[in-house]
Structure 1
Amino acid sequence: MGLTVLLAFLRGGALEKQVAGVVGAAWIASALVPLGGRIGPAWLLVAIDVGLLLYLLYQAAFAKRFWPVVAAGFQLLIVATHATFALRIQLEQWGYFTAYYLWSWGVLACIAVGALSAKSSARDA
């Protein structure tokens, strides 16, 4: 997370910096939320991720770049993972967290790709 945010701020454009800042803030907020345990998902964590999904959907709708669309798709998978765990609480938590982290890496990869391609897109324009 730290490396991706740093990359976005060093190499990215305004969009990459803004998205990296929002994703970084959501990550910090998520780290401060107590986990729900076996009784269910941490609903505050779900709310943070739904808010981040709405933000990424907004960026995907209005940005002139493709990577926010893919990032929003990965964030949708994160929210779907929460929904699946909420509906099937008997699922093992290692599967829940594994899926959650894999999709999170996808969001970070999108930001990194956006940051690495931002300078070349600006030069090409």
Structure 2
Amino acid sequence: MLQTAFLILLIGTCLFAFLRGRTDERLAAGGMMLAALITPLAVSSGFASPETGVLGIDVALLTFLFIIALKSDRFWPLWAAGFHVVGTTIHLATFVEVDIWPPAYANAQGFWAWPVLAALFVGTLLEARYRNN
């Protein structure tokens, strides 16, 4: 149920970003959609051990969001990158503490995708409102 809700919000937010955003919003939406599409393919152990494939995707998305944040004249990419840093570092904790309960690892890692998505939505909303004034 939660995955379905996230997927609906992801598609809606990214569509909104493609239609009403500028380059930064569109690039971030594309990167987030791509990461969301390939992440399930990279899960190898069902979060029973460190998911190095998912970590690689998260590091790539973090790098992409960081580059957008460095080049952007808006604040939302900083928030998106900052939220994604937390989600990415959760993977690192599993290398230190290998006895993490798999559902806790999966939920903690997935939780931080919501604020990243919210940052994109709010950034697109403010951008669209700014251009309409």
Q: TM-score, normalised by structure 1?
A: 0.90
User: Which residue is 1:22 aligned to?
Assistant: 31
| Residue aligning to 2:5 | none
Distance between the aligned counterparts of 1:53 and 1:61, measured in 2?
12
Across the aligned residues of Structure 1 and Structure 2, the Cα RMSD in angstroms comes to: 1.5
SS of residue paired to 1:40: coil
Amino acid across the alignment from 1:103:
W
User: What is the aligned partner in structure 2 of residue 13 from structure 1?
Assistant: 22
For these two proteins, the number of residue pairs brought into alignment is 124
Which of the numbers 13, 35, 40 marks the counterpart of 2:49?
40
Query: 1:70 and 1:19 mapped to 2: Cα distance?
Result: 12
Which sits farther off after the overlay, 35-44 or 12-21?
Answer: 35-44
1:3 is matched with: 12
Name 2:96's counterpart in structure 1: 87
Give every structure 1 segment of 4 or more consecutive aligned residues whose post-TM-superposition deviation is greater than 6 Å. Answer: none
Distance in 1 between residues matched to 2:61 and 2:102, nearest whole Å: 22
Counterpart of 1:109, as a letter, is A
Residues 63-86 of structure 1: per-residue CA shift (max 9 Å, x gap)? 000000010011100111111122
Identify if the C-alpha distance between structure 1 residues 38 and 47 changes in structure 2 by more than 3 Å, giving closer, same or farther.
Answer: closer
The answer to whether 1:74 aligns with 2:83 is yes
Residue in 2 that maps onto 1:96: 105
Identical-pair percentage: 32
Structure 1, gaps ≥5 residues long: none
Following superposition, the deviation at residue 119 of structure 1 comes to: 1.5
2:21 and 2:124 in contact (8 A); partners too: yes
TM-score, with structure 2 as normaliser: 0.85
CA drift of 1:121 comes to 2.4
Q: Letter of the 2:127 partner, please give it.
A: A
**Contact 2:47/2:105, CA 8 A, preserved across alignment:** no
